[in-house]
């Protein structure tokens, strides 16, 4: 079984257990053998041949740090804030976008009710200073 997997993985080294199981059904039937998907997973695990899945994104949130985590004030108990119109609650987020030169950060301020983007910046660094500048810009636009 291991040799069959190795021969398939020579051509497709990242092929996972489910697709391997599908590809190996016919050769196993010709050899009058049968092996279920879970049994194949066990064989691959014992032989250290499981393929680790690749992350399709970069993990940017680290909640296991030594700093204080602030609660979501919009979703707290009896004083929960539910916007009934635009320009009542703004939410901010930071994400980063892949480019040919690496990643660039994009910081957005969005109206929570209409989901309209009311401000954005693309700072060179993920810094509080750039987010502060963005917040100031949004407040100026809104006349606050």
CA nearest 105: which of 84, 93, 122?
Answer: 122
Longest Cα–Cα distance in the chain: 78
The pLDDT-based confidence of 123 (bands split at 50, 70, 90) is low
Domain ranges of the chain: 2-46, 84-142
pTM, two decimal places = 0.45
pLDDT tens column, 28-87: 888 888 888 899 899 999 999 999 888 776 666 777 888 887 777 787 777 788 888 988
Kind of pairing between the strands at 90-99 and 117-121: unpaired
Q: What integer pLDDT is reported at residue 128 of this predicted model?
A: 59
Place of tokens 């009934």: 84
Q: Do residues 109 and 135 make contact, with C-beta atoms less than 8 angstroms apart?
A: yes
CB within 8 Å of 91: residues ≥ 6 apart: 74, 109, 110, 112
Q: Do residues 92 and 108 make contact, with C-beta atoms less than 8 angstroms apart?
A: yes
Place of tokens 């014992």: 46
Q: How big is the chain, counted in residues?
A: 144
Q: What integer pLDDT is reported at residue 46 of this predicted model?
A: 93
């Amino acid at each position: 079984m291991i040799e069959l997997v190795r021969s398939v993985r020579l051509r497709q080294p990242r092929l996972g257990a489910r697709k391997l199981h599908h590809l190996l059904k016919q050769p196993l039937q010709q050899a009058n053998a049968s092996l279920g998907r879970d049994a194949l997973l066990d064989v691959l695990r014992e032989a250290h041949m499981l393929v680790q899945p690749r992350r399709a994104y970069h993990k940017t949130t680290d909640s296991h740090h030594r700093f204080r985590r602030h609660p979501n004030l919009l979703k707290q108990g009896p004083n929960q804030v539910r916007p009934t119109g635009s320009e009542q609650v703004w939410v901010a987020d930071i994400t980063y976008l892949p480019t040919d030169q690496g990643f660039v950060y994009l910081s957005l301020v969005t109206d929570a009710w209409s989901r309209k983007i009311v401000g954005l910046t693309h700072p060179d660094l993920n810094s509080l200073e750039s987010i502060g500048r963005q917040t100031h810009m949004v407040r100026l636009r809104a006349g606050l």
